Structure 1
Amino acid sequence: MKKLTFIALLLSCFLLTAKSSFAQDVTPDYKIAAGLKFGGYENGLSVKYFMNSTTALEGILGIRNHGAVVTGLYELHQQIFNAEGLRLYYGAGAHIGAVGRGEFKTFGDDKYYNSNRILIGADGVLGLEYKIPEAPIAISLDINPRLELATGPFFDLAPGLGLKYTF
């Protein structure tokens, strides 16, 4: 439990200092992106929509072993290191889904469910995204903390890789 508290505190401190350290208001490199998201627990489809130059909504339909999860995220994006197309993003959201009977790996603990279960909980995201100049491709790498409430409570921490086509 101390390890989880330390990780949450470290992420919070990073998010609070990142806004003042790297904040630059720039035009987004794209308005909409759709593609694939590969994660520690789910792989699936992702759609991101920029509401303005720094704020985006992302929806993910993730398929996992014996189930599926829909995740919605509110994200803040900031250009960093004065690098064209490179952005830091962070945000929060929620998920809902279902899993069937089976064994599921979680951060620090494995779970076995002998019946169907509903998944409902809170999500976070912290990552980097690079929009390739002169190409309609965006690549992201992030970390996704998740608090599962319906079958828990328990905490997951998973990496994510996104490949998206931009419009």
Structure 2
Amino acid sequence: MAHAQSKKKSDGGSGGSSSGYNTGIGLRGGGYSSGLTIKHFLGNKNGVALEALLTTEYKARGARLTLLGEKHKTVADVKGLQFYYGAGFHAGSYQGRHYFSDTRYYKGRKGEVYFDNRTYMRDEETYIAFGADLILGLEYKIEDLPFVIGVDYKPFFDVFNGYTGFYNDAAVSLRFTF
């Protein structure tokens, strides 16, 4: 009986994860994307979690759903502090994009240089986007409170309308845990 009680205390009473909680729901504020974050640990003690992000971008009108698999590890025996890493994918839709037209230089017959000014362009098309994501982060489960605060770096590769791009995103998250 004493052994069972000490084992329950060692995992923070989380009922299955070594993180101190099973599920967390909250907000994520980042450089490229901000929105809702939901993280759920699978029913084992190996620190594997699934995270879903429903985000919008401040530079584009639209939304993106990201699904990530993450592996959590404790940091230097500091209670409540965990490092995590993982990968996943995303899909979304954006309306419109902003860009500048190219600047062209022309050389005249007498050596004069002529150029076209850059023009700010906008289109109103809707673009479907999808891609792959990586994530690295730290999170801290606040002792005696049902909250987790975290920071992450999430680079992603995006494909939309025949264009590809690699983007770097970083964010701060606050989740209510249960």
TM-score normalised by the shorter chain: which range applies? Answer: 0.7 to 0.9
The residue that corresponds to 2:169 in the other structure is: 158
The residue that corresponds to 1:14 in the other structure is: none
Equivalent residues of 1:100, 1:113 under 8 A apart: no
The residue that corresponds to 2:55 in the other structure is: 62
Q: Structure 2: give runs of 5+ residues left out of the alignment.
A: 1-16, 100-120
Question: In structure 1, what residue type is equivalent to 2:34?
Answer: N
State the 1:57 CA deviation: 0.1
1:96 matches 2:116: no
The residue that corresponds to 1:37 in the other structure is: 28
User: Following the alignment from structure 1 to structure 2, what is the Cα–Cα distance between the partners of residues 57 and 37?
Assistant: 15
User: Following the alignment from structure 2 to structure 1, what is the Cα–Cα distance between the partners of residues 172 and 88?
Assistant: 18
SS at match of 2:168: strand
Question: In structure 2, what residue type is equivalent to 1:34?
Answer: I
More helix by share: 1
The residue that corresponds to 1:48 in the other structure is: 39
Q: Do the aligned partners of residues 73 and 56 (structure 1) sit closer, same or farther apart at CA in structure 2, a change above 3 Å counting?
A: same
Aligned with residue 78 of structure 2, among 71, 80, 83: 83
User: Following the alignment from structure 1 to structure 2, what is the Cα–Cα distance between the partners of residues 113 and 32?
Assistant: 41
Q: Do the aligned partners of residues 113 and 72 (structure 1) sit closer, same or farther apart at CA in structure 2, a change above 3 Å counting?
A: farther
SS at match of 2:154: strand
Question: In structure 1, what residue type is equivalent to 2:93?
Answer: A
Equivalent residues of 1:94, 1:122 under 8 A apart: yes
Give 4+ residue runs of structure 1 displaced > 6 Å after superposition: none
State the 1:73 CA deviation: 0.3
Between the two proteins, the alignment pairs up a number of residues equal to 135
Report percent identity of matched pairs. 36
User: Following the alignment from structure 2 to structure 1, what is the Cα–Cα distance between the partners of residues 122 and 166?
Assistant: 17
Question: In structure 2, what residue type is equivalent to 1:40?
Answer: G
Equivalent residues of 2:19, 2:82 under 8 A apart: no
SS at match of 1:100: strand
